[in-house]
Amino acid sequence: MRVLHIPTGGLFADGILSCIMAYAQAMDRTDLEITILAPNRPEEKILEKIRKADCLVSVIPYRKQDTKRYIEELYGFLKNHPFDIVHVHGSSAIMSMELLTARAAGCRVRIAHSHNTACENKRLDRLLRPIFRRSFDYGFACGQEAGKWLFQDKKFIVIPNGRNLAEYEFREESRAFWRNELAIPPDSLVIGHIGCFNYQKNHEYLLRVFSEIVKGISDAHLVMIGVGEYFEKIEEEVKKSGFAANVHFMGTTDRVGELLSAMDIMLLPSRYEGLPIVVIEWQASGLPCIISDVITDECRLTGLVTKLSIEEEPRIWAETVKNMSLPDRNSTREEMKEKIKGAGYDIESGGVRLKQLYQAFLKEKNR
């Protein structure tokens, strides 16, 4: 069985790639070959990570830069490398481009996978909705809200963005190591954020919140993990601020689980989201999280999650941070793990289920 994953927004160190990789590494690879398409020029360390996971990767032109050439190259790739299943990841009906190209190239099973509850190009999404509804065989979604957004009244299957929960457990040694590495005092309050630097993640608001926090807690630190199109813009804003020495840009890293142990509170003031897997990871690490109220309650698996509106003044978020009592993460470790596992986010069982779905879809098409 040959499966091709297509992340339509490009191959970046983001939630979609982490979902693809987590499942690829958890699945029984007997009689299963996984290829990930890169419709952009990804960082070499991303390509290396994919190859280390025993997956294939192919690079074609970026869709956003030259759509016509992208479709031509995709069609040629699919004709020359036949796949049993094409699994397309995105957040809008614009995915119909990949799905219809796969159908034209002769792919028997086409899966549309919704990872969000909104999209940036709303006009094109509306125009393509009627075509999209006929372009796929099966619908997947990271959660109920993401599924309803994209598939509306059509059936879909929720595929939780599972994780190896042990990777995110709180560890005192990791906390000490990373605080020392970043020159952060042991008792300082550390605010964390993980996300691609783009419009959706709303880093501008995050900086305004942190500005309010350091007015009352001068030794607070902000650690941001991720890259993206807005990275340089946010970096410039920090340089102009009065708290640049308290902000740490970590870029992309394979050591997220360790870094979470160094944090105290996580913030996610997103403008929109599907079901953000980072919030699951943060809870697995025992971290209190403040997230925007547009985010689905499906990610609220424990009592660690607080929701606030980004329409509020940033000082409201800052005051909530200052008034938060921090839990004893050592004593709550097992409780958090069991709650998250019970909600279906254990990647081992998730990997078994996804392969079974692939096999069932192929069997249904071969009847």
pLDDT digits 0-9 by tens, 16-52: 998 999 999 999 999 999 999 998 888 888 999 899 9
Give yes or no for residue 158 having a pLDDT over 80.
yes
From the CB of residue 65, how many other CB atoms can be counted at a distance below 10 Å? 11
pLDDT at 231: 96
| Among 140, 133, 146, 127, residue whose Cα is nearest residue 100 | 133
How is residue 84 written in tokens?
């049993």
Judge whether 302 and 279 are in contact, CB under 8 Å: no
Q: From CA 22, how far away is CA 350, in angstroms rounded?
A: 10
Same domain, 320 and 262: yes
Same domain, 146 and 213: no
DSSP lists the bridge partners of residue 4 as 35, 86
| CA–CA distance, 41 with 61 (Å, rounded to integer) | 8
Domain total for the chain?
Answer: 2
181 and 228 together in one domain:
yes
144, 162 Cβ separation under 8 angstroms:
no
pLDDT of residue 140: 97
Q: Quick one: 195 and 261 in the same domain?
A: yes
Least confident range of 66-75, 169-178, 227-236, 340-349? 340-349
Q: Report in angstroms the alpha-carbon separations of 97 from 71, 77, 80, 102, 119.
A: 8, 14, 18, 9, 16
pLDDT tens sequence across 109-147: 999 999 988 888 899 999 999 999 999 999 999 989 999
Q: Are 135 and 31 members of one domain?
A: yes
Distances (CA, A) of 74 to 3, 8, 67, 136, 219: 15, 12, 10, 17, 51
Rg, Å, the chain Cα set: 21
For the segment 224-252, the average pLDDT, to the nearest whole number, is 95
Q: Are residues 144 and 70 in the same domain?
A: yes
d(CA 10, CA 61): 10
**Residue 105 and residue 195 in one domain:** no
Report d(CA 134, CA 350) in Å as an integer. Answer: 28
Amino acid at 134: R
Tell me whether residue 152 is exposed, middle or buried, using C-beta atoms within 10 angstroms of its C-beta: 0 to 12, 13 to 18, 19 or more.
exposed
DSSP 326: P
Indicate whether 188 and 153 sit together in one domain: no
Q: Report CA 324 to chain centroid distance, whole Å.
A: 26
What is the pLDDT averaged over residues 160-171?
Answer: 89
Mean pLDDT value across the chain:
94
What token pair was written down for 127? 């125009």
Domain identity same for 136 and 174: no
Residues 197, 299 within the same domain: yes
Q: Indicate if 206 and 103 belong to the same structural domain.
A: no
Q: Based on the fold, state whether residues 153 and 217 are members of the same structural domain.
A: no
Compute the half-sphere exposure of residue 248: CA atoms within 13 Å on the CB side of its CA.
22
Taken in order 57, 125, 158, 277, the sign of the CA dihedral is positive
Number of residues assigned to the chain: 367
Q: Is the pLDDT of residue 164 over 80?
A: yes
CB 269 within 8 A of CB 247: no
Report residue 356 as tokens: 């079974």
- pLDDT higher than 90, residue 266: yes
Per the structure, the complete domain to which residue 6 belongs is given by: 2-162+346-365
CA angle (181 as vertex; 214, 245 as ends), nearest 5: 30
- Strand partners for 34: 3
* DSSP code of residue 121: -
Which range scores top for mean pLDDT: 34-38, 271-275, 294-298? 34-38
Residues with Cβ within 8 Å of residue 182, at least 6 apart in sequence: 221, 223, 248, 262
CATH number at residue 59: 3.40.50.2000
Across the chain, which distance is largest between two alpha carbons, in Å? 67
HSE of 174, CA atoms in CB hemisphere, 13 A: 17
For the chain, give the percent of residues with pLDDT over 90.
79
Burial code (b: 16+ CB inside 10 Å, e: under 16) for 153-172 equals: eeebeebbbbbebebbbbbe
pLDDT digits (tens, 9 = 90+) for 55-92: 999 999 887 778 899 999 999 999 999 999 999 999 99
Least confident of 58-62, 113-117, 184-188, 291-295: 58-62
Which residues have a Cβ under 8 Å from the Cβ of 124 and sit 6 or more positions away?
92, 93, 94
CB 308 within 8 A of CB 316: yes
